[in-house]
Structure formats: C-alpha cells, structure tokens
Structure 1
C-alpha cells in the first residue's frame, strides 16, 4: 500500500531513494545549476549594479548600514530584508557591491528552490519552470534588489516542494527541515504572505492528519514571524494594533477588485497607486491572461497521470497567495504576485512539456513549433518591458542623487533632516534623517522639526503643485528639478 500511495503521489517513483552522490543525481543538478547561473548573469547584465536604491530599498538598507540614519519602519514591514543585506550593507556603502551580492544570492536561492522539487517532476520540467520564472521581467528586475517578494517566492517553492516530498517519503529526512526553512524564510520576509501561501498546506495536513509536516510548517511560520510579533508588542501597542495599522497603510484590507490594477502594472510600473491610465498592449499582458488556462491544463495532465498532489498543492498555494493582491487591496505592484508566479511555474512547465511531446516522447509536429514561437515572443516582450523599467527607475533614482547634491551645495549635510515630499529616499541619498508629520510614514511633529532646525540643517521638500508646510513658509526657497526646497536658516 505504501508503494502504491507513493506512485500516485510522484508519478511512479519515490523521490530521494537514490544516493545523493550517484552520477545520475549529479547530472540532474546541472540543468538546474545552469538555469540559476544564467539567471544570475542576466541580472547583472540587464539590471545595472550601478542603479541606485529605490524608495523601499532605502528603508530596508538604512536599518543596518552605518552610513545613513535609519528611516522610519512602518507597520507592514518586516526585518527579513535588513537581515538579508546586512552582510554587505553593514560595512559597505557601495550599491554596486550590494547588487552583485543580491544577484548571486538570488541565483543560489533559485537553484535551491528548484532542487526541492527533484524527483517530483522530471528535471527538464524543473529547468523549464526555473527558466519561465527567472525570465519574467519582474523576477529579473527585483532579483538584485533589497526587496522581500522574490524571497517569499523562493521560500514558497522550497516549502511546498519539500511538503510534497514528505508526503511521498514519509515523516523522516531532510524534507521536513526544508518545509520549516521555507516557511521561516517566507515569514521572515512577509509574515502575512507566508500565511496566505501556507493555508492549503495547513488544511491538507489537518484533513489528512499528517502531523510531522504540519508541525514543521507551523514551527517554521512561528520562527520566521516571531520577530515581527515581538516588535508589534514592543513598538506598536500589540499584535492587533500593528495588524490594524498595517491594513490602514495598505488602504484597508477588504473587498477590492484589483485584477485590472495588476494588468496595468504589467507594463513596468513598480507601484500602481492610484492605478489609473491605459492598459498595456495585448502582447504585454497576454501571458498573464493565458496562465489560468495553462494551470487548468496542468491539472488535467496530473489527474490523467494519477499524480494530482504535486500539481494541485502548488496551484492551490499560488491561488491563495494571489488572493489578497487581486481582491483585497485597492492598488497593485507586480512584485506582489511573485510567489504565485513561482508556484505556478512548475505545473505550467509540466503542462507545456505534455503539449509539445506525446506519450512516447516524440515531438508533436504542430504544437511544438507553436509553443516554441510563443515562448520566444514572450521572452522578447519580457525583455522589452524590463529595459523600459530599468531606464525609468534609473532616471528617477538619478533625480534623487541630483537633489542630494544640490542640498549639499545649500549646506544640508549630515547630521541633517529632510522632510516633506519623498523625504525618505531624498534623505537617504543626502545622508540625512527623514521626517513626516503625517501619512503612512508619519514619525514626527511640526514642533519637533522646528526644534531640530535650531540644531542641525533641515530642508522641507515640496512636490510639483504642492504648498510648503506652515513651519517652513518663511524659510528660503530653492528650485531643484521640479521640486521646491526650503532650507531652514542656521540656528
């Protein structure tokens, strides 16, 4: 009976029964390592390491660097990314070094995530899945950035893959540690996302009474989320208060149809809030619209092969991970769906291989060329979107550098304070602290800013069409790019 159950689970062979040192197992690693290596190189070539840090990156990096004051850390954020970048950012201010470090680390993460699925699907399927996920513009763009979503995706792949391996191999072995490690990584990066990914696994383990994977999953989530919960009680007045504030910052969680917002963001918009404007051209969004059909085909393939679990579980986790970002918030960012894309990649790759090859392993003369042509077009579209996204973000971050240089010329040098429009990134680039008297990043008051101006240089930044704050109306105005900057008089 045990052999029959495992055959149903993993398609006729038990994962992990071969010695890890056999030549066959070593050969299986090469395609996965090649995909990860190409992914790493592609990041360094297509996303220049010299590209400055983005808004969110400055928040995360500033928590561990000694070269910049720590920016305000709002309720939704978690300390996973600061821990991730600390080995470099804690001693070096080099953005280039940080980008290279993160690109290499993200390549290693992809390799380990794909390895978690060995034995559950053929290596060609896993390599294709890795290539599909790695060539999405959102994966290439955010892989070398100090952002959490890619790492939630890696943790999700590891956790779900190892969970399925535990079901096939029994309660022992390294797979249980993989479940816990993947869950901990997700929770360390984004606790709420980790819970959404884990819901199908928790339900499956409870219904099937699989105690070892249930305990490993729950333990990993608890270990990764412990710091966030402890910080909630230390600084936010409790867990309920932090969750409430996090929801408020995200616009209030509830029924919000954001599918169209996600479609608009596919054209390369890092944050679509408010999400207005025209939809991208059809070639840009076509792959996204076809994903549900490919997932449905994957289900059909898995059911016919009598191995539904390795396909249905990642699909279910992909759905639950995407739910809050498609139906519960009023804005969009393409990076939010990275865990869903990673989990969809393996079943979709399996479906594509069944499309192009028949049961005897022969290429289908019509479908194989059509699929190859479609994939080539998909790669071209992703590359075009990536180039445009990199160019726009490079320009905007260079604008912050120009503003910082002008502030230095005006005498605003560390120690100093920047308030107002885009104060967090401008403050980081200037080497100043940042302060807001309201909004999602409110951390000070007008009286405190006025008092600070008596001791150190303070600049108030007003965006295009804005009006200066009351405390800064008598300060000397300066025009920098399209911004109005008022610098407090000395003393």
Structure 2
C-alpha cells in the first residue's frame, strides 16, 4: 500500500468512527480503563491461582543463578541470551525469595502487556485491543509463564510494541517517537532472544519497502539500529567466551538440534496438552481437544483480516500483524525438531489482534441474528477458557509436586554434608544445586563445564555429589564413592547420590 493509500484509509477510519456515534468514539479515544483492567486481571489471576508453590524450572535456574547470591552461576550455554537475567537482576541481588521474584515478574508482566497494547491505541479500537489482550493472556501457556524467568513472553511484548510503532510511523511521518519505539521494541526482543528478533525485523523491513512508506529508509535504519543494539551483548560475549560469533552460532545449533526442514506442527499440537517441552515429541496424542484452537487459529485470523477488508478499515494493521506473527512462528514450526509451546508466544500475541477484530465485528449490532452470534461466541469462549484453566492448573500442579521433590533432595544432600561450597553433577543438577547453594557442573553433554579430572580434583577440597536414578550407573571415576539413597523425583525412582568429600554435621 502506498503512503497515499495509508492516508486515505486513516481518513476513511475517521469517517467511520464519526458515523458510529460518540460512544464508539469515546471507546477509541480512551482505551486506558479497559487495557488496565485486562492487564491487572492477568497479573492478579496468575498470582492467586498459578504462582503459589511454583518452583524455578531448569532454564529459570540457569538465568537466575547468573545474578543470585544463592549459589554460583550455572553454565550458560551458547544459545542463551542474558536479557531475562538483566530483567530479574534488580530483585535477585536484593533477595533470594522465590515469592518476591514471582510477584515482581507477574507485576512486570501485567505492565508489559499494558504498554505493548497501549502502543496500538491509535491503530485499533479499544474493544479489539481488550479482547486481543484477553485472548492472549487466557492461553494456558501465557498464564503459566507470566511470572517465570523465561524470555519468550517478553519477546512477545517487544514484538507487539515494535509492530505497533512501525505502523504508527508509516501512518504519521510526523510521529517522532514511533521510530524510537520501533528500535526499542526490536532491541528489547533481541536482548531476550536474538534469533527471534531477526525474524521480527525481516518482515518489517520488507513491509517498509513494499508499503512505500515516506520514511522507509529511516525505518530501515531504526530496525537495523534496534537489532544491532539488542544483539550487541550476545555478539560481544560470543567473542569473549565462545571463540567468536560463528563458533557460538555453530555450538548453539548443535545444542538445539541442527536446524533444517522439519515439520513440527503436529509436535506443537501435542505439546498443547500441557507439556512444557516435547523433545523428542514421539509421545501419544492424548488430549486432542487442547489443540482445537490451534488448528482454528488460521481460520480465525483469516476471518478477522477479511472483516477488515470488507469494511475498508484497519486492514493494513491486521495484515502486517499477521505477516509478522507468521514469520515469528515459521522457524519453530518448520525448522526445529522439537516443540515447546512457549516458543510461539510472540506469534500468538500478534495473531490475537486479527482474531479479536473478527470476534468484535461478529458481535456488532445487526438487524437479525445478533443474539445467536453473540451466544455462539460466548459459548465458544467460555469452553475455551475452561479448557485453558484446566490445562494450566494441571501443569502448575505437576510442577509444584516436582518442586517439592527437588526440595527434599536438596535437604537430604544438606543432611549428608553437601553444603556450600560444594558441587552437584548428574541428574537435575542445575535445580538441585541452586536449592542446595552449590555449583552445578557437568563433565559431558550440552552443559559441559568441567572435565572428569577437574571434578575429581574438586572433590579433594569440597563436597561433590553426583546424582543418578533408576538403573543408571555412576561414572567410572565415582564407582568407589559412597552411595546414598535419595527421595524419588517425580516418576524417577531409585535416585542415589554418590558423594565424596562431605562432612556430615554432628
């Protein structure tokens, strides 16, 4: 669309709002109450129903340990970026309280949702933004990760804000802050996950040229500047700690699985049944109903875009949001050989906009059939919400039980004399080590951070515990170490700790 076409659409939208009457205009002018309500409800519901008892996950423990005084920093593998560590640092340097961390992140998540949607207040009607926020936050994935120290939700906020600022810059060349917001949104996403930010910036760069925006060159500069600023810490760290950018990319690809064509749509559908990670995802598909909305999503997005095209308003906004959302989802759906539902959060945040637009248009006043349509939409949404709550409740309950098991294991290690300074290796070493105040070190695998010889040498001057489960055997260098039974960990039984150098308390 040309710049003249964009301006014509803006004028048509203004004329349409004038025909709708003062109440609709007021809703457009003042989205603050609705967006504030949705954002606050998101944070409060999570804190009340999900966060209590939710322990740190594996990845969370890695990110938090980088700045927490609770234990030495865990090994930071090549694919990771430090954005989420920077986000939690202001709190973790003050307290090791997990409750405080959950409250802090939940409040930030609510504020982030509000700010990301607020960017769109001049682009889409307030009811559409409110419904979009409600749809996105009602997904069990969003609700589960609201207070977790994980980067994907924050990439979603950065992407939502960046696309909104891009569209504002295209619509109004006089908006001086829109390019700044565009650069900031891309930089924020890149700080969290550099590869996601690349897939965010590429379609926006193409759109700037294809739409013949008046300042398309300036927008390209803003995109490039934001991407460079956000990726800079990751690139610098690549040369300082990983042997260069190419070496870090190669190692990251090795850890995550060599990228290439891989159809993982069905993997993501299976994972929606409550799995936080499906790797490998060759498990039975036991809960197909959980993925109904996933398969309906393309149709709902298309219906929302079609509704905008029919009324001649907001089509540019929804088309751009759809294209960027699809670009963010494509690498995970077609190149990564496993699934984690959180990977698609940035795509869901953007695709919620056309879905919300279609639902709002479907429920608009009409001469006939309005009650039937509203009733059908209400039943569908109520069923969807009930299912999503069931999924997030089951997932959170499973994590709580696992967290309690980890706590018992850490307490048992303390009783055996494994106290700081100490080292934990083997099964679930990162989470157990953080709870026990120890360093986590692995002599092999993707988190290799020590050699077997160095681990044995460490055991000569501080306690070292190697955790194994079931019928697994300890490494050869620990065969002669005393073995101690530990509490079961989830469905893993026969858990044992091979400990050397410990001095049990008297």
Q: Please give the range of the TM-score, normalised by the shorter of the 2 chains.
A: over 0.9
2:343 matches 1:336: yes
The residue that corresponds to 1:488 in the other structure is 500
2:145 matches 1:139: no
The residue that corresponds to 2:100 in the other structure is 97
Decide whether aligned partners of structure 1 residues 24 and 384 sit closer, same or farther in structure 2, where only a CA change above 3 A counts: closer
| Higher alpha-carbon deviation: 199-208 or 135-144 | 199-208
The residue that corresponds to 2:363 in the other structure is 356
1:49–1:97 Cα contact (<8 Å) kept = no
Superposition pairs for residues 43-442 of structure 1, below 5 Å?
Answer: 43-170=46-173, 172-207=175-210, 208=212, 210-306=216-312, 307-357=314-364, 364-442=370-448
Decide whether aligned partners of structure 1 residues 269 and 211 sit closer, same or farther in structure 2, where only a CA change above 3 A counts: same
Unmatched runs of 5 consecutive residues or more in structure 1: 15-21
Secondary structure in 1 aligned to 2:351? Answer: helix
2:70–2:434 Cα contact (<8 Å) kept = no
1:49–1:95 Cα contact (<8 Å) kept = no
The residue that corresponds to 2:18 in the other structure is none
How far does the alpha carbon of each residue in 1:263-286 deviate from its partner, in whole angstroms, 9 at most, with x for none? Answer: 111011111112132214332111
TM-score by length of 2: 0.92
Q: Distance in 2 between matches of 1:180 and 1:285?
A: 35
TM-score by length of 1: 0.95
CA shift for structure 1 position 251: 1.0
How far does the alpha carbon of each residue in 1:432-464 deviate from its partner, in whole angstroms, 9 at most, with x for none? Answer: 001111111011110000000001000011132
2:186–2:197 Cα contact (<8 Å) kept = yes
After superposition, the CA RMSD in angstroms is: 1.9
2:462–2:501 Cα contact (<8 Å) kept = no
The residue that corresponds to 2:20 in the other structure is none
CA shift for structure 1 position 359: 6.5
Q: Distance in 2 between matches of 1:83 and 1:488?
A: 35
Secondary structure in 2 aligned to 1:12? Answer: helix
Q: Distance in 2 between matches of 1:46 and 1:406?
A: 30
Decide whether aligned partners of structure 1 residues 162 and 447 sit closer, same or farther in structure 2, where only a CA change above 3 A counts: same
CA shift for structure 1 position 334: 0.5
Decide whether aligned partners of structure 1 residues 10 and 60 sit closer, same or farther in structure 2, where only a CA change above 3 A counts: farther
Decide whether aligned partners of structure 1 residues 10 and 62 sit closer, same or farther in structure 2, where only a CA change above 3 A counts: farther
CA shift for structure 1 position 145: 0.6
In the alignment of these two chains, the number of paired residues is: 483
Q: Distance in 2 between matches of 1:11 and 1:143?
A: 38
Partner of residue 460 from structure 1, selected from 455, 463, 466 = 466
Secondary structure in 2 aligned to 1:486? Answer: strand
1:423–1:461 Cα contact (<8 Å) kept = yes
Q: Distance in 2 between matches of 1:196 and 1:25?
A: 31
Decide whether aligned partners of structure 1 residues 363 and 118 sit closer, same or farther in structure 2, where only a CA change above 3 A counts: farther
The residue that corresponds to 1:18 in the other structure is none
Q: Distance in 2 between matches of 1:221 and 1:202?
A: 12
2:270–2:287 Cα contact (<8 Å) kept = no
Runs of 4+, deviation exceeding 3 Å: 1-4, 22-27
CA shift for structure 1 position 365: 2.6
Q: Distance in 1 between matches of 2:470 and 2:165?
A: 51
1:6–1:13 Cα contact (<8 Å) kept = no
Unmatched runs of 5 consecutive residues or more in structure 2: 16-24
CA shift for structure 1 position 354: 1.7
CA shift for structure 1 position 11: 5.4
CA shift for structure 1 position 421: 1.3
Decide whether aligned partners of structure 1 residues 473 and 9 sit closer, same or farther in structure 2, where only a CA change above 3 A counts: farther
| Higher alpha-carbon deviation: 377-386 or 235-244 | 235-244
Decide whether aligned partners of structure 1 residues 373 and 490 sit closer, same or farther in structure 2, where only a CA change above 3 A counts: closer
Q: Distance in 1 between matches of 2:201 and 2:4?
A: 27
Q: Distance in 2 between matches of 1:249 and 1:92?
A: 32
2:9 matches 1:8: yes
1:200–1:316 Cα contact (<8 Å) kept = yes
2:81–2:192 Cα contact (<8 Å) kept = yes
Q: Distance in 1 between matches of 2:12 and 2:300?
A: 20
